[in-house]
Every structure is written in C-alpha cells, then in structure tokens.
Structure 1
C-alpha cells in the first residue's frame, strides 16, 4: 500500500497543479487553510481525493458533501457553477436576462445562506436583476417565483433530505421546471470554460448592500402563492368545523413550519399541533438519523408521540426543504404495533389523485373531460391511469423525476390542456401544475389535510378510502425495494444477461443470436429454449437513442439480437420495455416498436409485463450502488358485495405479487450468485401492511434453554449487561470530584495545535472533533507518546503527544488488529439479536486476530440442534452487519472489578467461568480490573462484551462484511460449540470484487485458531492464559 507521506518528486504533477490552483483561487479562509495544511503535511493522497475529481453538474444541478476541494460543495465550486450557468444564460437570453433576472433561495442547512449570497453577488456584478430571498424558503417557492416574476432562471441552494453534511445547487429554467438534457451538458461546458473566479466579482458580497439590482421578493411572492393555493380549498366549512380532525405537523428541522401554518390559515383550518423538538430549523437534524419522512417510522417517531399526547388523528410531515410530503393516520383497529399507519408514496398518490379529480369535477361539471390530464412516473403506481380509463381523462407516463413531470406538464398546458396532478412514488406530489411545475410539499400538505377532513366527515379512514377506490378502479398493489450491488461490472453483467437470456446454455444462446440476419423479426427467429424470446435490435429502433456513442455503435451492430425472458416461474412474460437499448416488444403479437419514453444507454432500465397483470421494472440507480425494482399488480374483482370476499381477493392478489416478485428476483437478479446485499432480510414490502418482525432466522428445532438463563431471552440478557455497564459508568463518573486539565499535543493533525482537554473525560475522538470532520471520520485509533495504542473513545489520563491512526497508512498493523478484533466483537452482538426470542444463544469468546487464518471468529453455543445455516441465513447475518455501519455506533471501553463483572455476566455461564482466570493474571495490580466494551449510542442500546481491546472508533468505519461459515468445534472446557466465521474490510479500503470473493472462499474453511479452553493448573502460573489471550 502506498504511503501518504510521499516526497515532492513522487507527487503526481496533476495533484500539485490542482493544489496550487486551489490556493490561488480560493478566498474562503477555512477551506483554503484546509488545503494548505494538507499540502504542508504532504497529505497528497487526501489532496488527490479532494481536488482531482470535479463535482459534476447534472439535470438536478449539484449535490455533494461540504468541504474543501473541487469535488465537494464549497464557496469556490458554487462560484464556478454560477459563473458557468450565468454565461450560458447570457448566451441563451442575451439582453433579456439583465432586465428579467433570476430568483435565488436557500434552505436552513449549513452554508446555504452564504452560498446563495455568493450566487447573487455574481449576477448583480454582471448587471443582472436578482430576486434574492433574505430568509429560508421551501424549494417550491423558487419555481413558483420564476413563473410569477417572469424570471429567466431560478437557483435553490438545498440538499433536500440528504444528510446534514451535504448541500446542493438546484436550477430551474424560465418555464419554472427543472432543466433537462442537453441544457445540463451545455451548462457543464460553460462551467469548464469559467473555472477561474472572476476578479472583483467573485466573493464581492458588499455589492449586495449597495446595488439596486438586488431585492427580496418575499412579500409579493408569499401573498400570491397562498392566494393561488386558496383556489384549491373546496370545503372551508368542514375545515373550520368543531368536528374537524386534529393534526400534528413536523418540518423535520427544516423550513416548512411558517409556510404550513399559513397554508392552514388560508384553508380555514384550526392551527395544527407542532412537534416542538423539530419545529425550528436545525442544520444538525438532531432528533433524526435521516431527515427524510419517506424513511417512515424512524423519522416520524416524535410526531407520533406528540399526536398520542394530544389525541390527534393525523400526522403531516415535510422534508427539510418542504418539497416532499408524508401522511400517517391513527390506526383505529390496532393492527399496527405503533398505532399509526404511514401511507406509502403510491397510496398517497392514489388518494391525492382521486381527490384532485373529485374536487375539480364537482367544481367544473361542464368542462370537456377529454382535455384533462394527470401524470405519473414510470416507476410509480398506475392507479391514475386506471382512474382515467373509468372517468374519461387522460394520463401520461414519464421517466423518473420531476424534471420530466414538470416539463411534460408545461407542454400540455401550452397546448391548452388542463393538467390536474402529477406524482412519483418517492412522496413527491405536484398538486398545482399551473403555479409550481415541481413537487410541492406545502400545497400537498394542506390539500391532503382537507382530504382527511372530508373523509372523516363521511366516517371513512384513508385506508377505507383506498379500499373503496379498489372496488371502482381495481386493485393496485405495489412492492418497491432494492439490493446493494457494489461492483459496476456485476451490475452490467446482470442486465446483459437479461438481454441475452438463457437458463443454462448461454454459449449456444449467443451463437444463435449473433447468427441472426439483419432485418429478420422475432417471429422468424428460432427460439433457443421455450423460456426465451428473441427480439431483433434494428437500426430503425435504435435511431432514437440519445447517446451519440451508442448511435455510432448501432451502424456497426445492426444485426444484433436480444433474448429476453419469456417466463418467470409459472407466469408468462407478455412483453418488455428496454429503455437502455430502445426496444418495446409485445410477445403476444411478436411486434416491437420504439418506446414512447426517452431512452439512454447511460442508464439501465428494463420493464417486464406479465400475463397476470403484473408489471416489474428493474433499474440501476444513477447515484447509489443499488439495483432497484418497482412492481405493481393490477386486478379487478367482479364480486365485491361482501367485505370478506373483498379482503380475501386482496390477500390473494398480494400473495400472487409476492410469489412472482420473489421468483423474479431469484431468477433475474440471481442474488446468491452475484452476491447482492438485500435492503432488509425481509424486504420492506408494501404487500403486508403489518409491521414486520425484526427477527429473521427461524429454526424448526429448538434446544431447551440453559438453566442459568432463568427464562430470560437473548435481548433480556443483553439489556441486563448494558444496564450494569451504564450504572458502573455513571458511578465512576461521579468519583471524578474535580475536573483537571491536561495538554494534548496533536502531532499529525491537519492543524498542528495543542489542545487543553479534561482529564478522565475527554477522549481522542473529542480531540479530533476540535480539529476537522475528516479526522473524525477516518481515525480509528490514537498513538500516545509514540508507543501506546489508545482507543478513540477511551478517556485520556495525562499530558501527552498524540497521533491519529487510520487504515491508509503504510504499515497499518495495529489498525488492522483492532479492526479484526472489532469484527469478532460484532459477531457476538449479531448472534444475540439475529434469532427469534425462543432461541438461546450463549456467547463464549473469540481468539486474537490472526490474519494468516483468513477470517474473524467468535465461538458460541447456538443451541439450535442440527441446524445448518443456509446461504440465506448467512446473508441475513451479513445484512445486519451492514446496518450497523449506517448507525455509527461507538465502541467505549470501561474497566470494572470482579464483583461488577460477575453481576454484568451472571446470565452468561461461559463468561462467568472465564472471569476469575482473567483477573488472576492481574495480581500485580492493586485492584485487578477487567476491560469490557460497549457498542452503542444514545438511541441504540447496543451490546457489551469482554475484550482487552483496543477496538476501532465506531461501526461507521466497517466496510464490506460477509459471514462465511459456521463450523462445529469441541472444547475440553465447554464441550460442543460453534465457530462462527466472517470476512470484512475497512470502509476506507476497496478490494476488487474478484479479490474479495477469493478471500471469502478461503474464509469458509474451518479457522484453526486456538480452541476456547481454560488453562490447567500449570498454565495458570503463566503470565497470560490462553483464554485471556483469546479475549485480545
């Protein structure tokens, strides 16, 4: 592994050049100093990562983590993007731009206000009128303002619902819709031509105080927006009625609170009840892990508590920039454990779509329905299409994203059509396309509240209304989820296989395909197998593809054929749509055509149509290492007279979708062969409304519970340890009578400083927090005074010199030991939490890190009889390990005496046997103590186990983690046990897929590490017992 501290001669000239450019161009003291310090410390790898990859401008603008570097969001990259965008606008609009101007807004994230001011300053310096909001606004205010103020463009500084360290730069065109290709690439070209900050203009914030070219449009925009919104209020008397329902609202620490309050006023509602912990803007999003209401229960927990305390009927939620909307209703039947049913994006889209039609039609009975349109994205429910087929209005299907929904709506409106509504399944709703050509969480929130009020007035719940719609328009049952695919070549291979499909003889299949003559159709092709169908990929079909590269290839490979699956389990595939290569085929009449939706070879997207009315779309995410699927089954029942038959039909339809989808995932994606990681062991399916159990491994044979457990479950035993740990920790803290200061000389930080910290309280992690977020993220251990390895979360006891250690150093031996030890520790937690409560897992211990053996290990008594883990069982454990990474749980050491240790582990018979032997080796100590670690956080209870440590800083540093095997072993002391083996690499390291696969195969073999045997009397006299050595 290359060293970080290379000499100047070894440094890539490109990195040096970009470093000098940054230092020359950047005028922000914070980010400039960050790059300068990295240069002074010869941190060339860090500089390369920050400076050699430029943040890309796409149709959604910019979005990235904030920090110093050309690949991140900061003053300089915002200025560069603005200079390019401004030049492009000047080219497109000439002199009209100066008088028409642009509108600029920002959310409540860190740096958003500053970035917005930097943007505005450049426009003003170029003599362009600038409508700059002086306070935080919802994102939909920008597209509204662009249209209302007749501006040429709009810019919103926001990262929407992303994590707190991110920010973004979203742009709108003069029609008020997001930009589409090729404008994004044209803007990107202009950015590349204007990278150097303009002198006397960039960072010239003083001009905003003196120029008459800048003004705050809030008053005029605010009043008109809500005046227009009031036009969609149809039942003001119900809204203000004493019988109206009570609402709880949360902006989830975002900007929505005052705007939702005003919306409720204009609709004549009584004020909603706010979630006090979340009502004010907070860039830290302190009460949630992800500030996205689409996450459901984890994000809306405080709102549910508030609603329960105030006997409210509904919960309304916006994301931080208030362009998304979520809705939950109290469950009157008590079928959901939390007492609240959170609607999916498709369910709420169905209800809002029906409501927009119902209210509009009643208000406009004489308008020609043939001119009415609604829109939905291709991965969303087709319920609007079914409603339109019955009621007579038109629907339009678009690609994913509101850039397509907004621009198509604009086109229809210009063609004198009446557009009522548009939505996509990711809780985005366009309820007023004439004013906002984008998703708008404020309008959706108050219109949704009126919908709830109306339904309550007729004694109907939201879910009952969904059932009612099903009886009229048919059942539309969805199941959307994803799997992780971290290797691009594997992802491409999966989609390529679906285009050249053969269940066994792929070579034969390829030969038959390539022998096809140009111009032949699928009807004249011999089928390689009954399960497949060949579709000719002709020049005529291919000519529309947007990728120039693929158009060039098309001339060379005009006779290429594609073989798509014709069956999936017992179901027949009746057609496909491939938006990557540009084919839409109906297998029933053997015809293919050009898809109506835009196609691009830059994306992978396949849709399968089945003979049972099901449609499944599989696509590769453009921003995450995921393969996503979106499924829907649409059916109508002829017998809906009885409620029992109604429910029975619905359950049968759900079961049918689930059966087909599981077969599709197994046969089309081949998760086992391709080592795909599932989102959840039981998918987060919308098929079953009930909350799914967190336990995921089920065994038929159960061994009788050990007597020492006193009928306690695994969770109860684990929580007992945690309780004793916390009591002891608090007791030790109380013994610190007086806080003393110690001086920490940080030797290798980006800023070479001395820190004054609190003795016995402050940790290396706290020191890193005082220096930089980069140091916090990557540091896994600390080195004190050049010779003592120290945990990141272990309190410091004296003045010292300190160096932070990470995995990318030239010789990371101690870091790797701590990492392997940590991975073994984690196995213990996963074993206790993976199995259902009636299975009793007894943890024993784990051996010290031994890299040559190729796997991390934990020995335990599983008490599962003759159970042998399947691939799915091992994968389930692996998935739980991946979840820990996202939780960023700290590893905190604590030294305890024998009495405390025996109380802490009194339900762990193997640990109780080990404790005396471990303490005997500390006879030289005045008060022998044992070291235990807690993995956890304020919101996650975690796990406690014995180990000498050290462990790494937190679970966020864990990379790929796979359970490899479970072997039976025999210990002289403990008898029959199981050895659980896994393989993992740190998040900072990246191995090629094939390399990791090779190592994983090796890790499946029985690890020959020492058995968990307590020493005999002769060995008791040694300085370190085998058992204590195992705990290291």
Structure 2
C-alpha cells in the first residue's frame, strides 16, 4: 500500500499539473502501486541552481517536464520584477533551444509565460547553439536569456540554462532568490493556461505558439555573431588557399551549421563531416554518452572518418556546441586526444602571440591583459602569465564564475583575452562571456593550419615545446559515479577527519613505491567549510560553497589534488596535477600521486564509488 505522504504528493501533482500526458504517468504509477518510483519522482523537488535545471524528462517534481518549466519561468518572472531592472519588460528575454526531445516545446512554454506578463520575447525559430544566447543577451540588451539544453547529458535528460543581463550564467544569490519565487508561484497562472493549446502534443516539433506583437525573431543576431567573430581570424588572407585536413563531428547536436559558417568567415576550407553524427539526433544513436570529453569511445566514428579521408585533425563539439574537443593523428598512426588543459595551453599561447603581433603591447599594457581559468584547471596558465607578463586570475569551478570574472575585469578597464575550464570549455575574446565551441573551433582550426603549414610541426610537438618553456604541468582528471548525494558527502567528511589528530590528513603515503617518501601536504583549502591553511587568516580568497563539496590539497612540491562533486551529474570528480622541469619525472610523479590519492583518500571499493566502465 502506498504511504500517505506519497499519496499526498501525488494528489498535489495531479491538482497542479495541467498536462494530460504527465498526469497520466502519475496516475498509472498510482494504479500500479509503484511507491518506489512515485517517491523518486515526487519526494524531492528539482533544485534551481546556478546551472539552472537539468534532469531526466518525466512527470514529477524531481524531473524535467512541462509543469516544471512553467513553474520555473513563473518564478523567474517574479524574481526579475523584484530586481527593478530598468525597462525590463521592453528589453525582454532571449530564448533558444537545441535538438533534444521536448526542447522546442519547453522553449515555447517558457516564452508564453513571459508573454503573458508583458515581456518582449526574442525566441529563436530554429535550433540554436548555446553560445548564441549569451551573445544575443548582450547585443539585444535583454534582462536575461534562457537556453533549453542538457548539454552533453544522456538522451533522457533536458535542462534550462539561465543567463543574466550581463550575458553570464547566474551566480549566487540569484539562484536562491529565483528558487524562493518558484515555490511562491507553483499554480499555473490562468493567463498562461489560456495560451497552452488544448491539443498540446508532447515532444512535438510543431510551432504552436500564437502570433504576438511582443514575440520577436532574433535571427538577425546570427549574422551579427559571425560578423563579430571575424576579428579573431589572424591569417584571413591565406586560409582559403590551404588544404584543409580537418574532420568535424557535431556529436548528434546542433553545431554543424554554426561551425560550417564559422569556417566560412575564417576563409577555411570546408571540414570533412562525420556523416553519422552531423545532424541533430535526440536519441544520440551512435554514442552511449554524447560527450566528446569521454575520449576514443565517443570519437571512434570521427577517427574512422578522418582515416578514410587522410585527415589528421579532428574537432568535436558537444550537442549544444559550447564545448570543443580535439584529436590529432600522430606520425605513428595513433590518435592523440588532447585534454582540456592541453587544448587551453595551445589556444592561450596562440591568442597571446597574435595579440602581441597585432598590438605590440608594452609591459604595462601586457599587464592589463587578463586570462582566467577555474581553480581545478592547470596552473600552467599562471606560469605562462608570469613568463609573458599578462595578468592571471582563477575562479571557482564552472564557467559562470569565469564569465562573471571576465565581466568584472572588463568593467575595471582590462582587456580580456582568454578563459577556460579543464572540462573542454573555452572562451576567446569579449563579444560574449560564456564558453563557445563554435568560434573556438574556427580559431583552433586556424591555429592548427598555421602550425602545419607555416611551422611544419604538429600540435603535439608544439605542445611539448610549450611545456619545455613553461614547465611540464601534467594532470589526471576523471570521476567516480556516486548515486546519492549523502554518500558523496560522507566520503568527503571522512577525508576531512583522516589525520592523526582527527582533522585533515597531513600526508599521503606513496602506495606505488614505498621506497619513495610520502606526499607531504603543505596546505588544505576546503571551500565547503571556508578553510584555507595557506592564508594568514585561515580563510580562502575564493568564495565558500557550503552547498557544494570541494577540497584541494597542495603538496610540498607544489603538486595539487582537488576533489569535488559535479554540479550537474551524480559524480565525484578528481583533479591531480604535478609539475616538473623534466617530463619523465613529471609522468612518474603523476602516476604515483594519482594512484595514491585514489586508493588512500577515496578507496572506491570501501566507499561504494563506481569507476567509469572504461577503467
């Protein structure tokens, strides 16, 4: 028998939901007395965080569905009203959507909530890449932007990504304020209900939203975007004459037409498409996870295509085209898949050398230029900044922090050049302030062709030269699946008490070679608890995140290890980085420290953490 608490929650859902198909889902679960699934769907409400919303599509408070979209948008409308932004309704909202199941419907539902409240709504009428939304927020001077996407999540998921009027993803305290307003506006407003078709069809590609004088088509911003990214092409006059050996995959997402046009404005030869993955496919039929960061498994078809066409360079976007992956065929025929730090080193150096060539900055002018990365990303960017004389800043994890930091630096009169996070998210220039896999694909392609044709070296060889110059910073980053938040918190809390004194550990034994000394911990930064033992006052310079888990250990040799929860997936992520002037020494150190961290601190066999299947 289903318990009264679950019955009450089911009753509340049925009283609130105005959509027949999701009402039927809950009714069928009730009829089947499926208390377990009802509890999963109804007991906890999906949280609106700084990443917006992201979850599987199904009926229930914990899932993505039409009712949740409406409730969230109603709350957002009320929150925007509370901010008293100048001319907020006239400035309006921009909305985009990707090729996932239900994305177009969710975008239209979002639009009618704003229209019903008198807001101008700029709704893209066709599939959009995520980068066009923050760009359009700035160009149209909107008060906010919304992208319906779940990025690289599995096919059953969808999401709701929110940008503030500065074109950046929202940060605290906006998420908490919006959450409160959502909970105060759960009943579907009558004016919204009246705009929903009586014959509403879920997961439809129909355009059912009625014409409205407040509904605008922002498609002109697409031309504007491509006109503005031309400034990042530095070899414009000679690109067209070069043979283009580049293979590209959209990973079943929306990126292909956008990258096609980006190549055109850079005068690059057309890319070789991975035909099986070039068109949007909400079922992601050729990959288990549509995430190019997963490595050779995700890129296997791209590798096959490249080999068939004698192409030695692969570029890949994730499904909403805000991230970029890169692989290069080596002289021995093997494919090297570059990680996010390696791609960033190559891009940062390219951006800086092009900037120097174009502007010949004085040391003072160079110090006014800034590059930014997240705290879990490689410290080689800091080493590069120290060597070259530009400014370096680090932020919390998540591109929301990088974008907002870039915005602050620009307001302070500095020139923002480049930002990145190790999870293959990159941003060049200030025409928008979120990661962008479209313009970065063209920028990277131009850089690679310059190396191939002008310098006659590979990306891999050039990367080694940069490591020789700035130091061999090597990182191992991966994750464990963790199905429950309380389990992850328990693992992290156990680490906090592993020391002999019941506090943080003071050292980690070398479990690979016990003849070598332990890895001695110099300082601990715990952003969950607001502790940083490297600071005179014991407090971190970065903001604390009491609702998220993050601990960083810095060792006596300046190696680092960061452990944190993913903000969008049920994962515990780890980042281990070492550096040394000698590459071989760095490789040995990385292997030994990573193994020791995983088997001493995390101990997956004991804690129940689950490694990815390819490990």
Question: TM-score normalised to the size of structure 2?
Answer: 0.92
TM-aligned CA deviation for residue 497 of structure 1: 4.5
Q: Alignment partner for residue 402 of structure 2, among 405, 409, 413?
A: 405
For residue 211 of structure 2, what is the aligned residue in structure 1? 210
Alignment of 1:662-811 (within 5 A): 662-671=595-604, 673-674=606-607, 676-679=609-612
2:527 to 566, 573, 579: 579
> Are the aligned partners of 2:417 and 2:428 in contact in 1 as well (CA < 8 Å)?
yes
C-alpha separation between the residues in 1 aligned to 2:212 and 2:459?
A: 52
CA shift in 2, pair 1:364/1:205, >3 Å: farther
Residue aligned with 2:145, SS:
strand
Partners in 1 of 2:180 and 2:124 — Cα distance?
28
Structure ID, larger Rg: 1
List gaps (5 residues or longer) in structure 1.
Answer: 1-5, 511-561, 637-648, 684-1032
Partner of 2:357: 362
Structure 1 residue 454: Cα displacement: 0.7
In the alignment, which residue of structure 2 is the partner of 1:22? 13
**What is the count of residue pairs matched by the alignment?**
595
Please tell me whether the aligned partners of residues 54 and 568 of structure 2 are also in contact (alpha carbons under 8 angstroms). no
Measure, in 2, the Cα distance between the counterparts of 1:26 and 1:238: 59
- Verify: 1:655 aligned to 2:604, yes or no: no
User: 1:286 and 1:494 mapped to 2: Cα distance?
Assistant: 35
Cα separation, 2, equivalents of 1:51 and 1:168:
18
Aligned to 2:337: 342
TM-superposed CA distance for 1:576, in Å, is: 2.2
- Matched with 1:467 is 464
Report deviation, 1:620. 3.6
Residue 483 of structure 1 deviates from its aligned partner by 3.5
Shift of 1:498: 3.9
Post-superposition offset of 1:662: 2.1
Deviation at 1:32, TM superposition (A): 2.2
- Say if 1:249 and 1:626 are closer, same or farther in 2 by CA, change over 3 A: closer
Tell me, yes or no, if structure 1 residue 436 matches structure 2 residue 384. no
Aligned residue runs from structure 1 range 155-554, under 5 A: 155-202=146-193, 204-205=195-196, 208-218=209-219, 220-242=220-242, 244-334=243-333, 339-366=334-361, 368-432=365-429, 434-457=430-453, 458-485=455-482, 491-502=488-499, 509-510=501-502
What does residue range 118-137 of structure 1 map to in structure 2 within 5 Å? Answer: 118-137=109-128
C-alpha distance in structure 1 between counterparts of 2:108 and 2:481, whole Å: 39
* Structure 1 residues 661 and 150: alpha-carbon distance in aligned structure 2, compared to 1, 3 A threshold: same
**Would the alpha carbon gap of residues 477 and 71 (structure 1) be closer, same or farther in structure 2, given more than 3 Å must change?**
same
Partner of residue 55 from structure 1, selected from 46, 49, 60: 46
Asked if structure 1 preserves the Cα contact closer than 8 Å seen for 2:246 and 2:271, the reply is: yes
Q: Is the 8 A contact 1:476 1:633 kept in 2?
A: yes
**Conserved? CA contact 2:508–2:596, under 8 Å:** no
Whether 2:543 is the aligned partner of 1:598: answer yes
Distance 1:347 1:241 in 2: 28
Inter-CA distance 492–300: structure 2 relative to 1 (3 Å threshold): closer
Q: Measure how far apart 1:622 and its partner are.
A: 4.7
Q: Match of 1:565?
A: 506
Aligned to 1:707: none
- Within 2, Cα distance between the matches of 1:81 and 1:253? 28
The CA distance in 1 between the partners of 2:529 and 2:380, in whole Å, is 28
TM-fit CA distance, 1:675: 5.2
Counterpart secondary structure, 1:154: strand
Is the contact made by 2:49 and 2:176 (CA closer than 8 Å) also made in structure 1?
Answer: yes
Q: Is the 8 A contact 2:531 2:539 kept in 1?
A: yes
Distance 1:76 1:633, change over 3 A: same
Tell me if the contact between 2:163 and 2:169 (Cα under 8 Å) persists in the aligned partners. yes
* Residues 661/39 of structure 1: CA separation in 2 closer, same or farther (3 Å cut): closer
Contact kept, 8 Å, 2:122 with 2:216, in 1: the verdict is yes
Give the C-alpha shift of residue 484 in structure 1.
Answer: 4.4
CA distance in structure 2 between the partners assigned to 1:487 and 1:19 by the alignment: 23
Structural mapping, 1:23-102, within 5 Å: 23-93=14-84, 96-102=87-93
CA contact (8 A) 2:134 2:163 kept: yes
Counting only pairs closer than 5 Å after superposition, residues 106-125 of structure 1 correspond to structure 2 as: 106-125=97-116
Q: CA deviation at 1:268?
A: 0.4
Looking at structure 2, the residues matched to 462 and 484 of structure 1 have their Cα atoms a distance apart, in angstroms, of 33
Q: Would you say 1:634 and 2:579 are equivalent positions?
A: yes
Contact 1:330–1:340 (Cα < 8 Å) also in 2: yes
Q: CA separation in 2, counterparts of 1:622 and 1:290? A: 17
Deviations 1:345-377 (A, max 9, x none): 111011111111111111111351111100011
Instruction: Pick closer, same or farther for the CA change 1:223–1:490 going to 2, 3 Å.
Output: closer
| CA distance in 1 between partners of 2:132 and 2:506 (Å) | 46
User: Relative to 1, partners in 2 of residues 1:94 and 1:441: Cα closer, same or farther, differing over 3 Å?
Assistant: closer
Residues 203, 74 of structure 1: alpha-carbon distance in 2 compared, 3 angstrom cutoff: farther
Q: Distance in 1 between matches of 2:298 and 2:320?
A: 15
Change (3 A) 1:235 1:203: farther
For residue 367 of structure 2, give the secondary structure of its aligned residue in structure 1: helix
Q: 2:385 & 2:537 partners in 1: Cα distance?
A: 26
Query: In structure 1, the residue corresponding to 2:575 is in which secondary structure?
Result: strand
- Higher RCO structure, 1 or 2 (CA under 8 Å, sep 6+): 2
8 Å contact from structure 1 (residues 124, 208) kept in 2: no
Note the residue ranges of structure 2 that are not aligned, 5 or more in a row. 198-207, 511-516
Cα contact 2:508–2:600 (8 A) shared by 1: no
- Deviation of 1:209 after TM superposition, in Å, equals 2.7
Describe the SS at the equivalent of 2:525: strand
8 Å CA contact 2:95–2:124 kept in 1: the answer is: yes
Q: 1:232 to 1:624 in 2, by over 3 A?
A: closer
CA contact (8 A) 2:248 2:272 kept: yes
Calculate the TM-score normalised by the size of structure 1: 0.56
Q: Distance in 2 between the 1:484 and 1:162 partners?
A: 14
Pairwise CA distance, 1:274: 1.1
Map 1:974-985 → 2, pairs under 5 A: none
Q: Is the 8 A contact 1:61 1:170 kept in 2?
A: yes
Q: 1:203 to 1:447 in 2, by over 3 A?
A: farther
Matches within 5 A, 1:754-903: none
**Residues 486/30 of structure 1: CA separation in 2 closer, same or farther (3 Å cut):** closer
Flag the 1:191–1:488 CA change in 2: closer, same or farther, 3 A: closer
Question: How much does 1:592 deviate?
Answer: 5.1
Alpha carbons 1:99, 1:129 under 8 Å: kept: yes
Q: Deviations over 1:130-156 (max 9, x none)?
A: 000000010011100000000000011
Look up the SS of the partner of 1:321 in the other structure: coil
Q: Structure 2 CA distance, aligned partners of 1:626 and 1:19?
A: 29
Cα RMSD after superposing both structures: 2.2
CA distance in 2, matches of 1:91, 1:22: 28
